[in-house]
Structure 1
Amino acid sequence: MFIKIIGGQNMNIYERDILINLSKDQYINQRSLAQRTGHSLGTVNQTIKSLMRTGYIDELAMLTSKAQDEFKEKKPKRAIILAAGFGMRMVPINTETTKGLIEVNGEVLIERTIRQLHEVGITEIYVVVGFMKEQYEYLIDEFGVELIVNSEYATKNNLHSIKLAVDHLENAYIIPCDIWCRENPFSKYELYSWYMVSDLVDDESSVRVNRKMELVSVQKKLGGNSMVGICYLVKEDAEIVKQKIIELSKNRYYDDAFWEEALYKKDRMIVAAKVVHSVDVVEINTYEQLRELDSDSNQLKTDAIDVICNALDVKNDEISNISVLKKGMTNRSFLFECKEKKYIMRIPGEGTDQLINRQEEAEVYNCIRDKNICDDIAYINPDNGYKITEFLEGARVCDPLDEDDIKKCMKCLRNFHQKKLKVDHDFDLFGQIEFYEKLWNGKSSVYRDYLKTKRNVLDLKEYVQKNIEVKTLTHIDAVPDNFLFVDKDGKEDIRLIDWEYAGMQDPHVDIAMFCIYSLYDKTQVDHLIDIYFEDECKQSIRIKIYCYIAIAGLLWSNWCEYKRTLGIEFGEYSLRQYRYAKEYYRIVQEELRKLKEGREVIQNV
């Protein structure tokens, strides 16, 4: 690879490396220079002659003013540290500490990085924060950094973090916050742009280093150099990257993209490779990587791990293969193995202590524990909601658009309702609407006609109460994602999971909940009702289920409004719930009008 420099001259990678080395250490002889750079003696000999010929060093191998000017122009001036993300793979550590503040050998990761930058004279440091941003505030006073807040960290990847700092890319290091470097990777002297990779082969990498020290694209799963993520950009390349970042960030296709997308031109990066040994630079992505690097790290002593050890009678190092599951609307969960079995641990998410009574949830699980209805519970804490369940291998969730799936789910739901199980607490739909509203009260609803919609929904209460035939234990959250299809001894079985909201209620509420989570239209709603009731649903009950759809729509709309105050958005889901509240109120009114007209016709006859 060749890099363009001042005066129209080209400098190859050996010349750049040796010139940088000469700027750091006094020249003794070519043999010592070969040892320091790792290049052959012949390469060093040729390179020294070339640098003399082009005027970068004199006869004594001392830097000339031309070289000094080159170093001055490309000198590192600033750094951008990316620290906005969830660090989802760091479960369960990320439930208590953001990844940049993990301790390794008694030193906080991001503090170590900042100190290494200070050692080479870089004090202009920008830290892009988002998740747990408050935990980074102390860095302003401690190290004089500037925080840049990425409010979109939950929905967009770090390309959008870099966009917030594009005016600071010139002669800048870009650094992930979760990197541990044995030796200082930064320098007072740089001559070209580079991106750091390690000599470790990684199936997830999208680049490999060729013989010219270029970073060329490689398909994932084919193996490339592990991408460390530290990068240095000189002025010319910084401008290219800046324009590319701005362009890409306008395209929603790149919402989930890494910032490195801006480094590519066709099939390779526009910057050179900087290769390091994998033992010298470690990206700490998982609990187990941290444990391997520092088995005494304070972050390994999390509440979640302590619970697992006590509940399953295992030691910390017996817990392995920890991996994050999809982040749910309410909880964070992770998968782990111990004693040759797989388990899922649920950790309640933000604000759930306000939303869910864990004592009541534990009561429900005790009620259904031995009835082959739910997943197998290994541990549940009625105080904090921590729960451990056995992992159901090969399980899949219900497809709400698959006829066979929904028939099986409605049969499962009907069989559960027919057991007429009882617990000591109710789920009050109207009470919960008021409760969620109080949680976000103090801020007006995001919907301009909320008060009118609420009045309409509350008007449905009388009809509902007149048409409740029985109350029994009801799941409340009987949505497609909570029906698991599993193989049990060669036969398909269905398990209903996540009973956080369950309580005594009209079981027909569960039908409404399935509909609104599936975002069904009225035709699909009616079809599901027919399946559940095996084509024998009375019109009065059908209208009652329409009422429940309107009521549940407002209920979960208010739930989403509360979550919104916590910085959590649910996109289309929240909007559709509010639409259900309005549209199904109108549907109920229309159906009641038809019933009334039908009775009048009969009376007249």
Structure 2
Amino acid sequence: MKKKNMNRDKYKILKVLITEDVIDQRKISQLTKFSLGKVNNLLKELNKEKYISSNYALTSSGKEYVKSHHPQQATILAAGYGLRMVPINTEEPKGLLEVHGEPLIERIIKQLHEVGITDIKIVVGFMKEHYEYLINEYDVDLIVNSYYSTRGNVYSLYLAKDRLANGYIIPCDIWFKDNPFSTLEDPSWYLFSDKMTSHSHWQVSKSAKIKYTKNPGNRMIGIAYLNEYDARKLNDRLGKMIDAKMYDSFWEDALTCKKQFLINGRIIPNSEHAEINSYEELMELDSHSDHLKTEAIEIIEDTLNIDKTKIHNIHTLKKGMTNRSFSFECNNKRYIMRIPGQGTDKLIDRKEEYDVYQQIKDEPYTENILYLNPVNGYKLSEFLENTRNSDANDWNDVTKCMKLLRRFHHENYQVNHKFDIWKQINFYESLRDAPSAYKDFMITKENVVKLKSFIQDNIKQWSLCHIDANADNFLIDKKGKIYLIDWEYAGMQDPDLDIAMYAIYAGYNREQFDRLIDIYYQNDCDEVTRYKIYAYAAVGGLLWSNWCEYKQSLGLDFGAYSIAQYRYAKKYSKLVLNYLEKKNA
């Protein structure tokens, strides 16, 4: 049977009547902020419509209305990384962060139970196993978003699209002082706070209508209630967004259309809730939370000899291909903390990285390392102020990079380990535990392997090489000083490999590649060396292509970069083989 929806003002009166034990018109006026005259008229209408009796008690019709408008279910979104939560999110997903000894998601579940909602599903992804205990503890169900690393919460909600009607949508990283849920809901609503922020352009009017504004709007909290009608509209919008592959969108984008918000707004005081999106927000809400005691924070405290309360302005840096890093300030100085990423322990020997930094630690062109753990790879370094990444398309920058690279190679550092690129190709291939997605992979690999003897016969120098000498790892400050950072892959190798690595990461074509070689060799590169560098482009392309396929098996996708690397393996292996065939004819 279709539900009968009630006038919003009468609904507010009815909600007060079922939630307050002792009631009179004056108290109703205080709670609803309606005038006494308006309260009196609304009560008369509710009585006339047979929802309440003359003493404000619910009639049978009123009880039926309340029963039919009781929320039925809730969906909690808990799949994302919570990138802004570094360094906490390296050990626990954000929904399980504890505030005053209670995990955020458990508090939400308990508050739902208080209003009789037990049909609860949680969309999980990152560290999904950590949420498994909730199944037995609270009789909830889990929905797994297997694409959590590449598809945002709009996809998470899409996975739960069939259960949104008469239910709540709730983010997992929110804390409420008082229970925000109710035994009675009628109009759909989205929750805002009374705090105005430039991050929102939606303003809630006194009539609960949500209007677009170019000025700061009400802070969006992330909770919504949807009735059947609005759930159908939202489902339709979600489906269109997924068909259009709008995976980077927030689910709230499905509530908006041409600067119109599809449902009404509800406002609560900003002091009544806390959205915990960062380490500092958790610190502010509960400075004694056990989750503030992460390994990364303890390293910072011990190394800098400070208390965690001195750590400020934590910012997640651009998520790297291998690591998760964050910058922070302490005593008016900035630092960077590196936390090794997923699967890194299989890819990098941290003891070898430690040995490399011990060799180059006094060089003025690398970062100042304050702490480096040779076992797990945690690294603390001073932030290089007023620097930028070099630009592989700016040939002035490229010239500076090659000059520094040549200087480093000429210093001829020696360590006790080598970067065996052939071994690494096979190693990365074995890690993915499945055939390559490229149909002609075995042909390409065979062509690349044919280059091995040509390369080995023409190595002129064997010294410490960076291996990952791409443009992003060269930093240039405002005075033009240049640095080379992130020596994770460094080992003994042919310096010409570093030149090729720079080229293939930059996506250079043949003409650009030749220009790079000429800059490094100062226009004095012989033909055989040039083709050996081409050969390294093929070998490096296959290496990083295998690396990308392994990372993709972990749910990490590097898009066009992975295809570009495979193309280098195909194109340049054929180029060098043709050259050798003509030369040996």
TM-score by length of 1: 0.93
2-structure distance, mates of 1:290, 1:122 = 27
Shift of 1:71: 3.0
2-structure distance, mates of 1:78, 1:451 = 52
Shift of 1:332: 0.3
2-structure distance, mates of 1:593, 1:522 = 20
Match of 1:444, SS?
coil
Shift of 1:131: 0.7
2-structure distance, mates of 1:440, 1:242 = 36
Segment drifting more, 114-123 vs 79-88: 114-123
Partner of 1:483: 474
Q: How does 1:144-163 map to 2 (within 5 A)?
A: 144-163=139-158
User: Are residues 156 and 531 of structure 1, via their aligned partners in 2, closer, same or farther at CA, if it must alter by over 3 Å?
Assistant: same
> Which among 349, 356, 370 is matched to residue 341 of structure 2?
349
Conservation of the 8 A alpha-carbon contact between 2:204 and 2:266: no
> Which among 43, 46, 65 is matched to residue 51 of structure 1?
46
1-structure distance, mates of 2:291, 2:22 = 45
2-structure distance, mates of 1:338, 1:28 = 54
2-structure distance, mates of 1:225, 1:398 = 40
> Which among 20, 24, 28 is matched to residue 19 of structure 2?
24
1:259 matched to 2:254? no
Conservation of the 8 A alpha-carbon contact between 2:191 and 2:223: yes
1-structure distance, mates of 2:210, 2:61 = 29
Q: How does 1:379-528 map to 2 (within 5 A)?
A: 379-441=371-433, 443-487=434-478, 491-528=479-516
TM-score by length of 2: 0.96
Shift of 1:194: 0.8
1-structure distance, mates of 2:421, 2:203 = 57
1:320 matched to 2:308? no
Shift of 1:66: 4.2
Structure 2 counterpart of 1:455, one-letter code: E
2-structure distance, mates of 1:131, 1:511 = 37
Conservation of the 8 A alpha-carbon contact between 1:71 and 1:191: no
Pairwise CA RMSD: 1.8
2-structure distance, mates of 1:528, 1:206 = 47
Percent identity of the aligned residues? Answer: 50
Q: How does 1:85-164 map to 2 (within 5 A)?
A: 85-164=80-159
1:552 matched to 2:547? no
Shift of 1:218: 3.1
Structure 1 counterpart of 2:442, one-letter code: L
> Which among 181, 187, 190 is matched to residue 185 of structure 2?
190
Match of 1:225, SS?
strand
Structure 2 counterpart of 1:391, one-letter code: F
Conservation of the 8 A alpha-carbon contact between 1:27 and 1:33: no
2-structure distance, mates of 1:522, 1:110 = 54
Match of 1:563, SS?
helix
Shift of 1:239: 0.7
Match of 2:476, SS?
strand
Match of 2:385, SS?
coil
Conservation of the 8 A alpha-carbon contact between 1:74 and 1:235: no
Partner of 2:369: 377
Shift of 1:206: 3.1
Structure 2 counterpart of 1:462, one-letter code: S
Match of 1:126, SS?
strand
Conservation of the 8 A alpha-carbon contact between 1:74 and 1:192: no
Shift of 1:560: 1.8
Structure 1 counterpart of 2:483, one-letter code: R
Provide Cα deviations, 1:231-290, integer angstroms capped at 9, x if missing partner.
1001111111111111112113x2211101111243232222211122221111001111
Shift of 1:299: 0.5
Shift of 1:43: 3.4
2-structure distance, mates of 1:143, 1:542 = 65
Segment drifting more, 553-562 vs 497-506: 553-562
> Which among 513, 523, 531 is matched to residue 535 of structure 1?
523
Conservation of the 8 A alpha-carbon contact between 1:198 and 1:227: yes
> Which among 533, 538, 562 is matched to residue 574 of structure 1?
562
User: Are residues 188 and 10 of structure 1, via their aligned partners in 2, closer, same or farther at CA, if it must alter by over 3 Å?
Assistant: closer
Match of 2:122, SS?
strand
> Which among 568, 575, 584 is matched to residue 587 of structure 1?
575
1:11 matched to 2:3? no
Conservation of the 8 A alpha-carbon contact between 2:466 and 2:489: yes
1-structure distance, mates of 2:276, 2:297 = 18
1-structure distance, mates of 2:393, 2:582 = 30
Segment drifting more, 327-336 vs 43-52: 43-52
Segment drifting more, 572-581 vs 325-334: 572-581
1-structure distance, mates of 2:201, 2:491 = 49
2-structure distance, mates of 1:362, 1:339 = 27
2-structure distance, mates of 1:21, 1:207 = 27
Shift of 1:326: 0.9
2-structure distance, mates of 1:43, 1:417 = 83
1-structure distance, mates of 2:212, 2:127 = 34
User: Are residues 514 and 159 of structure 1, via their aligned partners in 2, closer, same or farther at CA, if it must alter by over 3 Å?
Assistant: same
2-structure distance, mates of 1:162, 1:579 = 37
Structure 1 counterpart of 2:388, one-letter code: R
Unaligned runs of 5+ in 1: 598-605
Conservation of the 8 A alpha-carbon contact between 1:20 and 1:191: no
Shift of 1:175: 0.2
2-structure distance, mates of 1:405, 1:55 = 79
Conservation of the 8 A alpha-carbon contact between 2:192 and 2:267: yes
Structure 2 counterpart of 1:236, one-letter code: Y
Conservation of the 8 A alpha-carbon contact between 2:195 and 2:218: yes
Conservation of the 8 A alpha-carbon contact between 1:102 and 1:299: yes
2-structure distance, mates of 1:259, 1:99 = 18
Shift of 1:98: 0.3
Match of 1:244, SS?
helix
Segment drifting more, 168-177 vs 181-190: 181-190
